[in-house]
Amino acid sequence: MKFEEFEEVTVKRETLFSGQIIELAVDDVRLPNGELAKRELVFHNGAVGIIAITADERIVLVKQFRKPLEKVILEIPAGKIDDTDGNTLETAQRELEEETGFQGNNWEFVIEFSSAPGFTNEILYIYQATGLKKVDNPLPQDEDELIELHYLTLAEAKAAIASGEIYDGKTILAIQYWELMQLRGK
């Protein structure tokens, strides 16, 4: 089937909330069969995540509290795209430095994906950074972010997935990607 046979056309949009991070809207849509339905939509500016690998083959992770989960988890460094950012690589370089104090010599785009296509347009842009070095005076962390750095081998990262300490999609995807690169001998 073609795009037109799937498309749900917005008949009416009601924006119910505009916050710092997200915007909420409810659409009335017309389905391909002519019926009407509601769609609850969370708009987000998108974010970056960084697979940062040290010279001794450890991945740089940040430990932080995540209010929606009421949990402390280990994640790859990540951050929201600002409207003033030129491109997602620039965002990734800034976020890596802000969250970890590292700059990377080599940057490679890995993949982009939708985090939860059922209700949000948030897209994640994942980069890999190597050739890491600590900056003397790194960009300051966001004031309301408390972060602890961890450096895990692949075996330790896989154990952290198994224990639930690593618990979010982008970080699990990143560890799997790292393992696939190693198995392929890259």
Cα gap 125→109, rounded to integer Å:
8
Cα gap 116→119, rounded to integer Å:
6
Nearer to a copy of itself, 7 or 57 (CB): 7
Question: What SS3 class is residue 58?
Answer: coil
Out of 99, 108, 143, 148, pick the active-site residue: 143
- Of residues 74, 78, 70, the one with CA closest to residue 162: 74
Q: Tell me if residue 143 is catalytic.
A: yes
DSSP state of 181: H
Cα gap 130→60, rounded to integer Å:
11
Q: Least separation, in Å, of the C-beta of 55 and a copy of itself?
A: 25
- Packed helices 154-163 and 169-183: angle between N→C axes, nearest 10 degrees: 140
Residues 149 and 60 sit within 8 Å (Cβ to Cβ)? yes
Q: Any long-range contacts for 105-112 (C-beta under 8 Å, 24+ apart)?
A: 105/130, 105/131, 105/132, 105/133, 106/130, 106/131, 110/51, 110/174, 110/177, 111/173, 111/177, 112/88
Q: Least separation, in Å, of the C-beta of 49 and a copy of itself?
A: 11
Q: Least separation, in Å, of the C-beta of 141 and a copy of itself?
A: 12
Nearer to a copy of itself, 58 or 80 (CB): 80
Residues with a catalytic annotation lie at 143
